Amino acid sequence: MNANELADELDYCYGKEYPCPVSKEAATMLRQQQAEIEALKEKLIMEEESYILLDEECLFAKEAIKLHQAEIEALKAKTLTDEEINDFTVKIYNCRTGAESHEIVLAILRKAQEK
């Protein structure tokens, strides 16, 4: 039995058999309280739905951040140490043919990709 049903009982039982202003006030109060309860339930449902949407948005944002971080890492410049650069420079100066130069350039690129 909810407050509205109890208020109806008060109106029916006490209103006809035992007319009493207090029972009428009590019935009115019970109906008001039931209306407030219903309003609070609706508000709670709306808040829960809002939290669900926010959670979904947060998950989407976190996934987007992870994706962008991975892209940033992939795009970071590959750098060689001074020692590695000097080693390749010596090899280039000592090469005799275009094919040797080509192989050295490929080695430089592979070394940079490893980093």
pTM of the entire predicted model: 0.45
Whole-angstrom Cα distance, residue 83 to residue 23? 96
Whole-angstrom Cα distance, residue 48 to residue 53? 9
The domain spans of the chain are 1-76, 77-115
Whole-angstrom Cα distance, residue 58 to residue 64? 10
User: Tell me: the pLDDT tens digits for 40-94?
Assistant: 999 999 888 888 888 888 888 888 888 887 777 766 666 777 888 888 778 777 7
User: Tell me: the pLDDT tens digits for 19-28?
Assistant: 677 778 888 8
